[in-house]
A and B are shown apart, each in its own frame.
Chain A
Amino acid sequence: NAGVTQTPKFRILKIGQSMTLQCTQDMNHNYMYWYRQDPGMGLKLIYYSVGAGITDKGEVPNGYNVSRSTTEDFPLRLELAAPSQTSVYFCASSPRDRGRGETQYFGPGTRLLVL
């Protein structure tokens, strides 16, 4: 299993450009998440999904959009990139929650710089 894969690894965007961060998992997990990690801060949840066709906002959703058309894929869309979106983005997945202790599996991250 490849686990959770993310592309690209690094990207530079100009202000106002748009892009899609790709995330794929091959573990047949129902739940998927997008987090951002800013320097000296913990991870903040952007969006999450509990299954194909179902998405919901996290703590910091403004400026982002997501879709979940398949179990495997959970792309994150940035429209009109702003410098405040400079961050490292992590995708994660977990199995259906059965006992509250389900592990989240993280991808390697995408480093985004908006200039």
Chain B
Amino acid sequence: GNSVTQMEGPVTLSEEAFLTINCTYTATGYPSLFWYVQYPGEGLQLLLKATKADDKGSNKGFEATYRKETTSFHLEKGSVQVSDSAVYFCALRGLNDYKLSFGAGTTVTVRA
């Protein structure tokens, strides 16, 4: 079945540091890939997505590239802010599948 593995946290960074969160997946065919973010006390919201190989999703300074050859969708941001402190989830949706398969989530804390 489909599965997502993302790097374990927690991750603690200083403001303006570079952030990368690794995400790899197992799926048949070409799934759609997503990063969702959960701010403290809130529900999940879509951060970015990519629906085919070599697509790059980007939003709010975050980027992730769909790499079919390495089955990866790593999340990166060049200069984080305190407001980026949140839990980040990598997820995939398989072809002809209704549900999202989520990774365990990575807690990121950015200190001023």
Q: What residues of chain A lie closer than 8 Å to B32, measured between beta carbons?
A: 100-101
**Chain A: interface residue total (CB-CB under 8 A):** 26
A74-101: which residues lie under 8 A (CB-CB) from chain B?
90, 92, 97, 99-101
The distance in angstroms between the C-alpha atoms of A106 and B34, with both chains bound, is 14
The distance in angstroms between the C-alpha atoms of A44 and B102, with both chains bound, is 8
**B61 located at the interface, meaning its Cβ lies under 8 Å from any Cβ of chain A in the complex:** no
The distance in angstroms between the C-alpha atoms of A108 and B95, with both chains bound, is 28
A14-49: which residues lie under 8 A (CB-CB) from chain B?
31, 33, 40-45, 48
The distance in angstroms between the C-alpha atoms of A1 and B44, with both chains bound, is 17
Q: Is the CB of A108 within 8 A of B104?
A: no
**Chain B: interface residue total (CB-CB under 8 A):** 25
**B100 located at the interface, meaning its Cβ lies under 8 Å from any Cβ of chain A in the complex:** yes
Q: What residues of chain B lie closer than 8 Å to A59, measured between beta carbons?
A: 99
Select one of A31, A33, A41, A92 contacting B104, CB under 8 A. A41
Q: A42-B103, A42-B105 are in contact. Are A106 and B44 (CB under 8 A)?
A: yes
**A62 located at the interface, meaning its Cβ lies under 8 Å from any Cβ of chain B in the complex:** no
Q: In the complex, what residue of chain A is closest to B42 when comparing beta carbons?
A: A108
The distance in angstroms between the C-alpha atoms of A48 and B78, with both chains bound, is 37
The distance in angstroms between the C-alpha atoms of A109 and B99, with both chains bound, is 18
Q: Is the CB of B104 within 8 A of A104?
A: no
Q: What residues of chain B lie closer than 8 Å to A105, measured between beta carbons?
A: 45-46
Q: Is the CB of A103 within 8 A of B89?
A: no
**B77 located at the interface, meaning its Cβ lies under 8 Å from any Cβ of chain A in the complex:** no
Select one of A42, A48, A103 contacting B102, CB under 8 A. A42
Q: Is the CB of B49 within 8 A of A107?
A: no
CB proximity of A105 to chain B, nearest CB, Å: 8
24 contacts between A and B (CB under 8 A): A31-B98, A42-B101, A42-B102, A42-B104, A42-B105, A43-B102, A45-B99, A45-B100, A50-B98, A59-B99, A92-B44, A97-B98, A99-B51, A100-B93, A100-B95, A101-B49, A101-B93, A103-B49, A105-B45, A106-B36, A106-B44, A107-B43, A108-B42, A108-B43
- Chain A contact residues, CB within 8 Å of chain B: 4, 31, 33, 40-45, 48, 50, 58-59, 90, 92, 97, 99-101, 103-109
